[in-house]
Structure 1
Amino acid sequence: MTEVSRVIDVPPEAVFAVLADGWLYAGWVVGSSHIRDVDENWPAIGSRIHHSVGPWPVHIQDKTVVTAVEPGLSLSLQARGWPLGEAAVGLTLVPHGEGKTEVRMTEHIVGGPAKVLPAALQTLLIKPRNTESLARLADLATGKHTRTKNAQP
């Protein structure tokens, strides 16, 4: 399993607000290029995001499914990108000082051809992508939180 983490200068509920908006998924998940549909009850267990993976015109149409959720605390996903494979992804939000959140992201390949890659090679491929995903998540959460805070009277 590969884990990366990042401290974001917003409270956990601000980070979770981005995770809970399935239409923002392609904005922070590296590799996801287009959101086709989001189940109305996202991020309830079993709900799905229907997305494309990869660059046009060779993108793959697939989905990501919520496997567990604790609003404001954690989100677990089964992300698919067939024919490459399938991964279990976990995002945990930990308060980190006043108004900050440490986001921990884990991923391990659970199916498909990529599963046969040695663990060290999987980490070599996954870690930089997930580090960038957390950087994008930080930007979205910070921007959304700042705009919301500035809009309040």
Structure 2
Amino acid sequence: MVEVSLHVSASPERVFAVLADGWSYAGWVVGAAHIRSVDAGWPAVGTRVHHSVGAWPLQVQDETVVLEVDPPRVLELEAGLWPLGAARVRFELTEVDGGTRISMEEQAKGGPAVLVPEVAQALFLVPRNRETLRRLADLVLRKD
């Protein structure tokens, strides 16, 4: 499992509000290019964000489903990574002095990606997920 974290000067409720906006997903998830639809009730367990991944014209249609939610503390997702399989992605929000610590854990789940050693996965996932958290923080801090 690969974990990164970031401190943001906002409340867990404010951070979770961005996570709970499925239409914002492509604005902060590195690799997500376009949101096709968001299930009613997102982010309830079992609801999905239907998105495209990659650059046009090589975009892949995929989806992300909610596995666990405990507002405003936890959001766990299964993100499609076709053709590589899927990943379990968990966000934990912890209130700290001056804001929130956002922790993001990612683990390959199914498909060929599970065969890649965690050390090798981290070479790609750590920078990608740090950028994801930076984008999330940018949206949190400008959201009114």
TM-score computed with the length of structure 1 as normaliser: 0.92
Partner SS, residue 111 of structure 1:
coil
Kindly tell me the number of residue pairs found equivalent between the two proteins.
Answer: 144
Residues 25-70 of structure 1: per-residue CA shift (max 9 Å, x gap): 0000000000000001100000000000111110110100000000
Query: Following the alignment from structure 1 to structure 2, what is the Cα–Cα distance between the partners of residues 131 and 6?
Result: 8
Q: Give the conservation status (yes or no) of the 8 Å contact 1:79–1:88.
A: yes
Which residue in 2 is equivalent to 1:65? 65
Query: Following the alignment from structure 2 to structure 1, what is the Cα–Cα distance between the partners of residues 102 and 60?
Result: 28
Comparing 114-123 with 60-69, which one deviates more in the overlay?
114-123
Q: CA deviation at 1:14?
A: 0.5
Q: Give the conservation status (yes or no) of the 8 Å contact 1:89–1:106.
A: yes
Query: Following the alignment from structure 1 to structure 2, what is the Cα–Cα distance between the partners of residues 67 and 93?
Result: 16
Which residue in 2 is equivalent to 1:151? none
Q: Give the conservation status (yes or no) of the 8 Å contact 1:74–1:90.
A: yes
Q: CA deviation at 1:96?
A: 1.1
Query: Aligned ranges for residues 73-88 of structure 1 at < 5 Å?
Result: 73-88=73-88
Structure with greater Cα Rg = 1
Which amino acid in structure 1 is aligned with residue 66 of structure 2? Answer: V
Which amino acid in structure 2 is aligned with residue 6 of structure 1? Answer: L
Q: Give the conservation status (yes or no) of the 8 Å contact 1:60–1:81.
A: no
Task: Give unmatched runs, 5+ long, in structure 1.
Answer: 149-153
Query: Following the alignment from structure 2 to structure 1, what is the Cα–Cα distance between the partners of residues 8 and 141?
Result: 8
Identity of aligned residues (%): 53
After TM superposition, what 4+ stretches of structure 1 lie above 3 angstroms from structure 2? none
Task: Give unmatched runs, 5+ long, in structure 2.
Answer: none
Query: Following the alignment from structure 2 to structure 1, what is the Cα–Cα distance between the partners of residues 131 and 96?
Result: 20
Query: Following the alignment from structure 2 to structure 1, what is the Cα–Cα distance between the partners of residues 46 and 31?
Result: 22
Which residue in 2 is equivalent to 1:115? 114
